[in-house]
Chain A
Amino acid sequence: MGIIEVRNLRYSYPNANAQALNGIDLTIDEGEFVLLTGPSGCGKTTFCRTLNGLIPHFYNGIMEGSVVVTGLNTREHQTPELAQYVGLIFQNPDNQIFALTVEKDVGFGLENLGVHKEEMIKEIDWALEAVGISHLRDRATHELSGGQKQRLAIASILAMRPKILVLDEPTSFLDPIGAERIFLVLDKLNREHGITILLIEHRVDLAARYVDRVMIFSEGKISSNGPPEDIFASEETRLSGVGIPKVVDLYNRLKGLGFPLKRTPLTPDTLVSQLEEIFQNYSTKLTLRSTMSDLDEVAGEHHYRPVIEVHDISYTYPSGVKALDGVSLIIHMGEFVAIMGENGAGKTTLVKHFNGLLRPDKGYIEVDGGDISDTSVASLSRKVGLVFQNPDDQLFSESVEEEVSFALHNFGFDAGTIEKRVNWALNLLDIDQYRKSSPFILSGGERKRVALGSVLAWDPEIVVLDEPTIGQDHGQKERLMHFLMQLRTQGKTTIIVTHDVEFVAECKPRVVLMANGNVIADGPVKAVMTNDKALQRASVSPPEITKVFSRLSSYGLPRDILDVSEAAELLIQLKEANP
């Protein structure tokens, strides 16, 4: 018998018509590390809630079937009791930290269980050590970074010594480095401490290599279930539209093109060693140094009129944190720019200067050729539309239509124009069918589109998107990418702030790389993504495919390859040169 036994589980939330879970049968054995993925809204989070009894005890609604964890039927045991066996970790680290200091927060669960002080201290020591944050023991919880907070959340659950950890998209608010650290911690807990782990994640690129088994959810059911090598390589998975690790994607393509590859690789390293085995028999080498066309170079030069000019600006927050330290940058009309770097590098602080939300302590900014020091945020916003990361920080109207027209009223458009613009924006973002609905009943992805529409409605010359891909599933990202391409063809200047390298690798903008409040590299994406020194300083790791090609240069292959199609094309060239 497995440590988790789910039999014919069905569930619907109170006042909901649709079934959230639609007949799940599942066994997870002790010590397994399972990855659960699938599009947003497919019931993954709901499923998590059934594992420690939040469903059916905390949420009402109708549950059928049974969930047995560590031999306990969740119907018969309350959540606080089940919490000792199954630890749940949620998406937003801030909403699961209760105490003011790290040590006290780790102890919170133990206090609730009535554990004695001496034992409590021992467990706290162990849990902090296990996730590698012993040095933060006496720190105040609100001073921690996002990644540290999420590791604290894991330690706090771990201190109760659960046999099973269930993590619901724990890395969606983190940058890739923070995410990787979480996965390493989970891997260690699984291998060294035998803890069974169920991880729900969209970031399959980073997570796949650690897990024993992958399950894909769709419409409240498990649609595929098996070892990651099989699941990601299967045609069925590709068609289901969930994210596939880039190396597996490349492997699938190459196999289709007749490469004699064996095992499905989950890391760039394993793919490289398989390719090297094939290549060692090749006598002809390619002689490509770089795939960067001259056109790319030109696009980054002063080809168009500059629209945003940042002159040596510095900014320090009232709290004393120096966020920008002498940044200079010129963005031209019609350019597509990605500002990258880890959390805290100063990306968002920089773009908040573009419409005057923040004013530099030193230096100045020009928009459309004019110094903006004395221009109000409202009039700058007409030119520079800023779309923030979290749509919930701005939605407030009774209907989507009103939400989208809010800014138009503020800017004093006349009624006829407002109607025209609202229609245009709703159609552009494909949310016309929700025109009269409340924005609050929409899904996360749809709310994001409403927020985007509410800015695009006034047709600003420059559009700035802050972390548009955060918390988005594969399908939503594809959609966003098409949308950005559309903006680009319309000649709009588009700036995205992101730490999503794979996204950048596919849409190929000009990249401005930031670290510690400075711009440390600036140029075409191919140049920046192969600038090892700068990437390391910015704690950004290159795209998976680039990692593969960085080790194949001895076969005359260029290093600056970012996406799967490009990669497949080159490798086939090499193969054809060696009949």
Chain B
Amino acid sequence: MSLLESLRFSRGDSPIHNLDPRVKFLMTFVLFLAAVMFMDLIPLIVIFLVQIPLVTIGKIQSEWFKSLKGGVFLALIIFVTNLISFYFFQGRTLNTSNVETAITLTVRFLVLITSFSIFFLTTSPDKLSLALDKTRIPYEFNFAFITAIRFVPVLADEAQSIIDAQRSRGLELDKGGFLSRIQKYIPILLPLIINSIRRSLELAEAMESRAFGATKERTNLYELKMGNLDYLALIVTLIALLIVIYIRFFTQPFPSLLEPSVII
């Protein structure tokens, strides 16, 4: 949960925040692609290092740190399960190249977290919806997306009130076996669902009262406009993509960092 929590957008002002969401999305996508294309430690470390200036320009160091911390547990699982599976599949031996692969996969995971952090921490849902607006996706879907985000805190509050009310009526959520615990969530889920249905009716009424669907030619308060910085970022990103493809497919494979030897 804390990993997801740490990906929540917080208002800020930086060149990264102000970047056109489409360009930023492409940037994230190229980082993502590069991370998945390589299986060697050296290029993955390079990609990781390239991301750090982006994080500092975006002034999201502390948030990024939180998301890394949230991801540490998963990263550890990735590392350990890799080692264990190498150990058993190779007939109970382990060599340094196995360790290097496990490290590589772990670094790749951290690179992916970082690229998501850069995108989601610096892109307001409003801007994301604008970017969606520019695609051919119908406005209704876009509206549903924003409404979903809008109601996350509202539903969280409501869930808390329901949990408080039921605990005050003697419901003990953390007692009993697995099945009885699941059953204990019924008194919490039912009011939540019923309230949501009631809420959706009220929302529909309020939407109608705000002229939703009055005209096909909907306007938008904010507009996306590509600035000089956006074009620059776009060009840099495309060049980076070409370089990545060239190195991956047209150059010699990378040497391994650890001396090959058998550990166990």
Pick from A92, A94, A112, A440: contact of B194, CB below 8 A: A440
A393, B211: Cβ atoms under 8 Å?
Answer: no
CB distance from A286 to the nearest CB of B (A): 49
Of A98, A104, A157, A160, which is in contact with the most chain B CB atoms at under 10 Å from its CB? Answer: A98
A80, B213: Cβ atoms under 8 Å?
Answer: yes
Complex Cα–Cα for A549 and B212 (A): 51
Complex Cα–Cα for A103 and B124 (A): 14
Contacts of B203 in A (CB 8 A): 95-96
Complex Cα–Cα for A124 and B221 (A): 10
Pick from A52, A141, A142, A455: contact of B209, CB below 8 A: A52
Complex Cα–Cα for A455 and B168 (A): 9
Pick from A107, A141, A157, A454: contact of B150, CB below 8 A: A141
Let me know if B153 is at the binding interface, CB within 8 A.
yes
A142, B154: Cβ atoms under 8 Å?
Answer: yes
B150, A54: Cβ atoms under 8 Å?
Answer: no
CB distance from B74 to the nearest CB of A (A): 23
Contacts of A269 in B (CB 8 A): none
Complex Cα–Cα for A458 and B124 (A): 49
Contacts of B169 in A (CB 8 A): 381, 394, 406-407, 410, 454-455
B149, A393: Cβ atoms under 8 Å?
Answer: no
Complex Cα–Cα for A388 and B207 (A): 30
How does the 8 Å CB contact mask read for A383-404 relative to B, with 1 for contact and 0 for none?
0011010101111100000000
Pick from B167, B202, B214, B221: contact of A114, CB below 8 A: B214
Contacts of A83 in B (CB 8 A): 208-211, 214
Let me know if B70 is at the binding interface, CB within 8 A.
no
A90, B205: Cβ atoms under 8 Å?
Answer: yes
CB distance from B206 to the nearest CB of A (A): 4
Pick from B146, B195, B214: contact of A393, CB below 8 A: B195
CB distance from A372 to the nearest CB of B (A): 14
CB distance from A282 to the nearest CB of B (A): 55
How does the 8 Å CB contact mask read for B240-257 relative to A, with 1 for contact and 0 for none?
000000000000000000
Complex Cα–Cα for A286 and B198 (A): 57
How does the 8 Å CB contact mask read for B177-220 relative to A, with 1 for contact and 0 for none?
00000000011001100110011001111111111111101111
A406, B187: Cβ atoms under 8 Å?
Answer: yes
B124, A90: Cβ atoms under 8 Å?
Answer: no
Complex Cα–Cα for A124 and B223 (A): 16
Complex Cα–Cα for A148 and B223 (A): 27
Residue of A nearest to B156 (CB): A142
A81-B214, A109-B210 as given contacts; A388 in contact with B164, CB under 8 Å? yes
Complex Cα–Cα for A99 and B191 (A): 25
How does the 8 Å CB contact mask read for B54-95 relative to A, with 1 for contact and 0 for none?
000000000000000000000000000000000000000000
- B:217-232 near A, CB below 8 Å: 217-223
CB distance from B8 to the nearest CB of A (A): 11
Contacts of A115 in B (CB 8 A): 219
B211, A113: Cβ atoms under 8 Å?
Answer: yes
Let me know if A488 is at the binding interface, CB within 8 A.
no
Complex Cα–Cα for A111 and B220 (A): 6
B171, A410: Cβ atoms under 8 Å?
Answer: yes
A80, B214: Cβ atoms under 8 Å?
Answer: yes
Q: Is the interface of B mostly helix, strand, loop or mixed?
A: helix
A114, B217: Cβ atoms under 8 Å?
Answer: yes
Residue of A nearest to B210 (CB): A109
Let me know if A330 is at the binding interface, CB within 8 A.
no
Residue of A nearest to B192 (CB): A393
Contacts of B215 in A (CB 8 A): 112-114
Interface residue count for B (Cβ, 8 Å)?
52
Pick from A95, A104, A113, A396: contact of B186, CB below 8 A: A396
- B:108-149 near A, CB below 8 Å: 124-126, 143, 146-147, 149
A378-B170, A386-B168 as given contacts; A103 in contact with B221, CB under 8 Å? yes
Complex Cα–Cα for A156 and B211 (A): 11
Pick from B165, B172, B209, B221: contact of A378, CB below 8 A: B172
B208, A79: Cβ atoms under 8 Å?
Answer: yes
Contacts of A393 in B (CB 8 A): 158, 161-162, 165, 191, 195
Pick from B172, B212, B217, B221: contact of A120, CB below 8 A: B221
CB distance from A232 to the nearest CB of B (A): 31
CB distance from B209 to the nearest CB of A (A): 4
CB distance from B22 to the nearest CB of A (A): 19
CB distance from B5 to the nearest CB of A (A): 11
Residue of B nearest to A138 (CB): B11
Let me know if A97 is at the binding interface, CB within 8 A.
yes
Residue of A nearest to B125 (CB): A100
B206, A394: Cβ atoms under 8 Å?
Answer: no
A377-B168, A388-B168 as given contacts; A54 in contact with B209, CB under 8 Å? yes
Let me know if B166 is at the binding interface, CB within 8 A.
yes
Pick from B167, B210, B211, B221: contact of A104, CB below 8 A: B221
B211, A80: Cβ atoms under 8 Å?
Answer: yes
Pick from B164, B187, B211: contact of A352, CB below 8 A: B164
CB distance from B158 to the nearest CB of A (A): 7
Pick from A113, A117, A396: contact of B191, CB below 8 A: A396
Let me know if A304 is at the binding interface, CB within 8 A.
no
Let me know if A140 is at the binding interface, CB within 8 A.
yes
CB distance from A198 to the nearest CB of B (A): 14
Let me know if A264 is at the binding interface, CB within 8 A.
no
A377, B208: Cβ atoms under 8 Å?
Answer: no
A83-B210, A455-B168 as given contacts; A99 in contact with B205, CB under 8 Å? no
Contacts of A81 in B (CB 8 A): 211, 214
Complex Cα–Cα for A115 and B221 (A): 9
Residue of A nearest to B169 (CB): A407
Complex Cα–Cα for A327 and B254 (A): 65
B167, A377: Cβ atoms under 8 Å?
Answer: yes
A100, B126: Cβ atoms under 8 Å?
Answer: yes
Pick from B126, B205, B223: contact of A58, CB below 8 A: B205
Complex Cα–Cα for A81 and B212 (A): 9
A111-B218, A393-B195, A440-B194 as given contacts; A95 in contact with B149, CB under 8 Å? no
Let me know if A37 is at the binding interface, CB within 8 A.
no
Residue of A nearest to B217 (CB): A114
Let me know if A101 is at the binding interface, CB within 8 A.
yes
CB distance from A48 to the nearest CB of B (A): 10
A95-B203, A99-B146, A396-B191 as given contacts; A112 in contact with B213, CB under 8 Å? yes
A80-B208, A104-B126, A392-B195 as given contacts; A407 in contact with B164, CB under 8 Å? no
The 6 A-B pairs with the shortest beta carbon distances in the complex, nearest first, are A410-B170, A80-B214, A396-B190, A96-B206, A394-B165, A407-B169
Q: What are 19 pairs between A and B in contact, CB < 8 Å?
A: A54-B205, A54-B209, A84-B211, A84-B214, A92-B202, A94-B154, A95-B199, A96-B202, A96-B206, A98-B147, A100-B125, A100-B146, A112-B210, A117-B221, A377-B168, A388-B161, A410-B169, A410-B170, A454-B169
- Give the A-binding residues of B (Cβ under 8 A): 11, 124-126, 143, 146-147, 149-150, 153-154, 158, 161-162, 164-172, 186-187, 190-191, 194-195, 198-199, 202-215, 217-223
Beyond A80-B212, A88-B205, A393-B165, 15 extra complex contacts between A and B, CB < 8 Å: A54-B205, A58-B204, A95-B199, A109-B210, A112-B210, A114-B214, A120-B219, A124-B221, A141-B150, A156-B210, A160-B210, A377-B167, A378-B167, A388-B165, A394-B187
- Give the B-binding residues of A (Cβ under 8 A): 49, 52, 54, 58, 79-81, 83-84, 87-88, 90, 92, 94-101, 103-104, 107-117, 120-121, 124, 140-142, 156-157, 160, 352, 355, 357, 376-378, 381-382, 385-386, 388, 390, 392-396, 406-407, 410-411, 440, 454-455, 458
